[in-house]
Chain A
Amino acid sequence: MTREDIRSSLKDVFRETFDGREIELADELTAKQVDGWNSVTHIDLICAIEEKFSFAFSTAEIARLQNVGELISVVEKKMKA
């Protein structure tokens, strides 16, 4: 999967997690910039991404995430593994 394919798939996950809203997933996007992306919905989002791509994150990977760009990079790395 290319980075843009991952981004496109993640858009579906974000839409499902955040009440059907279309969210533009720029690399620099952070949780603070998305209404409703809080500590509660963050884990819901992570679980949904794990189900979508059929892998499991580690706690360290979650802890290191700073923005959507890093999330895409982690997914990309795990898809290649």
Chain B
Amino acid sequence: MLFTEARFYVFLLAALMLFWAAQPTARARLLLALSVAYCLLSSLQGSAWLGTAMLVTWAGSRRMLAFPVDSSGRARWLMLSVAALVGMLAFAKFGPKLLPPVTTWVAGEGSLGGLPMGISYFTFHCLGYLLDIHWSKEKPMHAESLALYLSFFPKAVMGPIARSGTFQEQASNLASLRLPAGEGVSAVFQICIGLFLKFVLADRIMLFVNGCFTTPGQSGVPGLLGAVMFCWQLYYDFFSYSLIAVGTGRLFGIRLPNNFNRPFFATSVSDFWSRWHISLSSWFQEYLYTPLRFRLRRKRRLALFVASMTTFLAIGIWHGTGWTFVVLGLLNGFLVTAEALYPKLREAPKSKWLLMPRMAFTFLLIASTLVLFRAPTLAEAGSVYSNYFSFHPGSVKAVIGLLSKFDWLLLAFFGCIVEVLTWKQLIQGDPDGCSWIARIPSSLQTWVLALVLAMTWALGMFGKTTFLYNQF
């Protein structure tokens, strides 16, 4: 049950009415029941995988807690639990490729990418919790709290990846929860903006990108244009999801982490990764990069190289099992490592006249690596790259013609507005975001929300659609 489906909003409305009408002391349990219901309504097979992961995490954490911190017993149970969870994820990702008949059994009918619903995301939550317990970084959770943490429905399918300690603290305060003034309207506004970005912008750009990448002969300048537009599509698609997830979480008093912070204003590849899919990159930084580099710290530069390349390789493989994703990971790892070894590469220019060109260069570099994300094979990606700057008027005209003049004008107009609003932090994906709307008169609030929804309805590309990151 994705955020693009009408039935989700029927579910959400019913869930909100039940939640706010319930006895305060019953809210946490009710939220768990609602999250379980959401998972079951979305996918029975996905729910079975989530339930299994919950059991492994719960059992593993209880066994770990029977041993002292830094003991070999605790480490052993950590390894076993991690192996089981990573094994489940690997089987789900690789099993169908090796044994196609397994696909339906693994994921269920209609699953995008052949994966159980949300498996990558809840696996990260499970692994993070187990490591937090291993390091004694967070307090252990009761079974119900752990179940709520893993299944909380606004983030169940595609994140954001929340930290166990922060989530637990908020969930434990649900009984005394009162939403601050203006929180509701800010959250609803985030959801409305998310819907607008998805249906009006992301899905419109998708038509163009699909056309660009399905005709290998149209590489060259169209290839560069396709890479740039795919970058925008991916951003609007996932940013829109994140806005809806964070806004929905706020309506239940749970503040989920922000996933995007104006990524196309980045001045280096490292800067970009601190602004893009933040909950994922910070998860990998905290649970893979830092511990690995720390373990190898005596090797200085070699440690930095190994930790960076391993982390980005893992991020690449997480996205997909093909060679394009391996190369995507290695390429980004190489660029980030180079910037770490030579900090001048990472520094933002001091002159404001150099800032825009630097941002543009970083954006083009990132868009170029994302060709690997989109192209189905290395050969196709190579074809795009090798003809990047070749210019054939006929093919450029054909590619531009994939969208109508109206579509191009709409994308240019609203694209500029969205970028200005995000630059000025008037559209934000964090749980305090979009709070400016709460400070304007309530009659105007209604008009703003109605206008956004009306524009979405009038200009949206409605069809069978999903979110790109749902396939991971």
Contacts and interface: CB of A to CB of B under 8 A. Distances in A.
Nearest to B304: A40
A64 interface: yes
Contacts of A63: 131, 135, 137, 286, 290-291
Contacts, number: 41
Majority SS of interface residues in chain A? helix
Interface stretch (A6-14, A22-30, A41-49): A41-49
Nearest to A64: B137
Contacts of B139: none
Contacts of B295: 59
Contacts of B449: none
A60 interface: yes
Given A39-B290, A43-B290, A43-B293, 12 more contacts: A39-B285, A39-B289, A42-B290, A43-B294, A43-B297, A57-B294, A59-B291, A59-B294, A60-B134, A62-B290, A62-B294, A63-B131
Contacts of A39: 285, 289-290
Contacts of B303: 43
Instruction: Give me the 4 closest cross-chain CB pairs, A-B, nearest first.
Output: A60-B135, A63-B135, A40-B340, A39-B285
Interface of A: 38-40, 42-43, 46-47, 57-60, 62-64
B69 to A, nearest CB: 6
A59 B289 CA distance: 12
A63 B295 CA distance: 12
Contacts of A57: 294
Contact of A46 (B286, B294, B340): B294
Interface in B275-307: 285-286, 289-291, 293-295, 297, 303-304
B136 interface: yes
Contacts of A64: 135-137
Contacts of B291: 59, 62-63
Most chain B beta-carbon neighbours within 10 Å: one of A40, A43, A47: A40
